[in-house]
Chain A
Amino acid sequence: MKKKRNLKYRIGMILTGITVLFVLLGFVWTPCDPETMDKGAKLAGVSLSHLMGCDQFGRDIFSRVLKGSGTTLLVALGTVSFGTFFGVLIGAFTGYFGGIVDEIFMRVNDVLFAFPSILLGLMFISLLGSGKYNVIIALGIAFIPSFARIVRSEFIRCKNMDYVQSARLAGARDLRIIFLHILPNTTTVLVSSIMIGFNNAVLAEAGMSYLGIGVQPPDASLGRMLSEAQTYLFSSPGYAIFPGLALILMVLGFSLLSEGLKED
């Protein structure tokens, strides 16, 4: 039976749908080439040929917003996948087996938890150097502790439940119990933390690119566009507002979606 979803979920779904559609569109087609510079159209205003105007090099902002949203989304997906993968592995094994290794890992985790994730990201970026893939790794590492902590507490809660005992009696090995029996039962908790993590990743990436140490040109990035737009804020406010709106649309849609899911 299909039940009627709540308002938050529906609005979130629509906003996320719009973002995803635009991002997919940006991968296959953009109204202008995002890299082509047009000397005559420097900082041009909103018009039919340039829906969001042009930047200081005469590049079409709409095309660049499409591309930039794609980069942001990809980096966020990469970051969350990286963080989830290692977080789940560490959380599952430490939670399931416990013991001294668990103790050490959790101490380290507590320490990492004290850092704001963007600061950890900054530290790793300063070690690795900037660029799209390094941002994914740096932020990904920064996200591991929160995932590991959640998965670990779920495993501790589940590991002595009846179904795990029965599986053990039936002769299932530890690995099988971890991945086939307990892990599927952590999905609800995991999914909601993945969604929160995704939003944090979008914001962190945009922040780092804004600071100039995240995604590097020629990759278009919303954060970088915002930092460049700041110089021309008075003469062409649209240059800053449109990429910002794209960012808000992405984050708002996803946060509504995740809250809507939780309320159901």
Chain B
Amino acid sequence: MKYFAKKLIGLFATLLAVSFLVFLAFAVIPGDPATAMLGTQATPERIEALREEMGLNEPLLVRYAAWVADFVRGDFGISYSYRIPVTNMIVDKLPVTLTLMALSFLLIVFVSIPLGITCARYRGGVLDHCIVAANQVVMAIPAFFSGILITLVFGLLLHLFTPGGYVSYQKDWGRFLGYMLFPSIAVALPKIAMTTKLLRASVLSETRLDYVRTAYSRGNGTRAVLYRHVLKNALIPVVTFLGMALADMVAGSIIVEQVFNIPGLGRILLTSISNRDYPVVQAIIVCIAFLVLTINFLVDLVYQMVDPRITIE
């Protein structure tokens, strides 16, 4: 419990630091938000009035405090280019990106665990060699290129889905998930390869240990030993890896969303970057960082539940 509290405080401190760094980065850039909103044609008086209204004349720390206070209340400011609250812009996009990540995560878990164990079980065999070689190649394929290949093969040649035919989850959950399955394969593929590779190595090093021999001597079959005894221990490094991979998957999702024409967080982030719509960029980046940090925090907790031997200070 003490550990939990300590971790939680650490999480909040990091969250605060992240938000401050992002705020700082966007505060020091040249270019005045008020001018950006009104255009260069505006009179100096109008710009000055807007600066006053937006609180831009306050000192940096005061502005930061105000921003954090708004942020906690769920008010992320007003978009420069659309003139609507940022919160409204991102709140219904968040489930899209989260679904993409959750589906990819499920794929990773359900594909790479059997694959990794199969490899380790038949190590040195033809199947093992094939999977290892395929892994090596798949790891080198960028997610957006596998996305393009998936569009070509499953979409255009096999007609399993309509490329660009995204269906909003507000309209039809079933078809939404059906469409999201394909981008999530693209996001998951490189991570499946890495996880399989890691799990194979981890299972192989476990099988040399005494408890495995004991399990065999008690009359267990190979399958039972691998899935009931070895897997639990072999998963520990994999859990760590998956925690770190999640951060990468957020980035992967942003790109893959573009490949499949999905209006998620990535889409708004990109449009806002090209429009120099800083409040939106700022809000999305902080949101993603929060997401990643929170997930890492949860992974740490899960980690300790999976393996009671681990106690960190």
Contact = CB atoms under 8 A, between A and B. Distances in A.
A68 to B, nearest CB: 13
A111 B148 contact: no
Interface stretch (A49-57, A121-129, A181-189): A121-129
A154 B39 CA distance: 51
Nearest to A230: B148
B4 interface: no
Nearest to A110: B14
A252 B289 contact: no
B247 A127 contact: no
Contacts of B137: 248, 252
A58 interface: no
B136 A255 contact: yes
Nearest to A223: B144
A262 interface: no
A12 B296 CA distance: 34
B149 interface: yes
Contacts of A237: 152
Contacts of B276: 126
Given A122-B269, A244-B149, A114 B255 contact: no
B140 A255 contact: yes
B144 A207 contact: yes
Nearest to A243: B145
Q: Which of B148, B258, B285, B292 has the most CB of A within 10 A?
A: B148
B274 A213 contact: yes
Contacts of B247: 114-116
B296 A114 contact: yes
Nearest to A115: B289
Contacts of A256: 136
Interface stretch (B19-27, B75-83, B211-219): B19-27
A149 B52 CA distance: 42
Given A114-B14, A119-B251, A233 B156 contact: yes
B231 to A, nearest CB: 25
Contacts of A227: 258
A107 interface: yes
Contact of A111 (B14, B152, B163, B288): B14
Interface in A231-246: 233-234, 237, 240-241, 244
Contact of B21 (A111, A126, A213, A241): A111
A114 B149 contact: no
B139 A213 contact: no
Interface string B234-259: 00000000000001101100110011
Contacts of A178: none
A107 B17 contact: yes
Given A115-B289, A211-B258, A213-B274, A248 B17 contact: no
B250 A125 contact: no
A223 B163 CA distance: 20
Interface residues of A, number: 41
A226 B156 contact: no
A133 interface: no
B192 interface: no
Given A116-B247, A233-B152, A127 B29 contact: yes
B142 interface: yes
Given A233-B152, A240-B148, A255-B136, A115 B292 contact: yes
A244 B148 contact: yes
A192 to B, nearest CB: 16
A251 B148 contact: no
Contact of A114 (B152, B274, B289): B289
B102 interface: no
A111 B22 CA distance: 11
Interface of B: 14, 17-18, 21-22, 25-26, 29, 136-137, 139-145, 148-149, 151-152, 156, 163, 247-248, 250-251, 254-255, 258-259, 269-270, 272-274, 276, 278, 281, 285, 288-289, 292-293, 296
Interface of A: 107-108, 110-112, 114-119, 122-127, 203, 206-207, 210-213, 223, 226-227, 229-230, 233-234, 237, 240-241, 244, 247-248, 251-252, 255-256
Given A210-B144, A213-B270, A226-B145, 7 more contacts: A115-B288, A117-B251, A118-B254, A119-B250, A119-B288, A126-B281, A255-B140
23 contacts: A107-B17, A111-B14, A111-B18, A114-B14, A114-B289, A115-B285, A115-B288, A116-B247, A116-B248, A118-B254, A126-B272, A126-B276, A207-B251, A207-B255, A223-B144, A233-B148, A233-B152, A240-B148, A244-B149, A247-B142, A248-B145, A251-B140, A255-B139
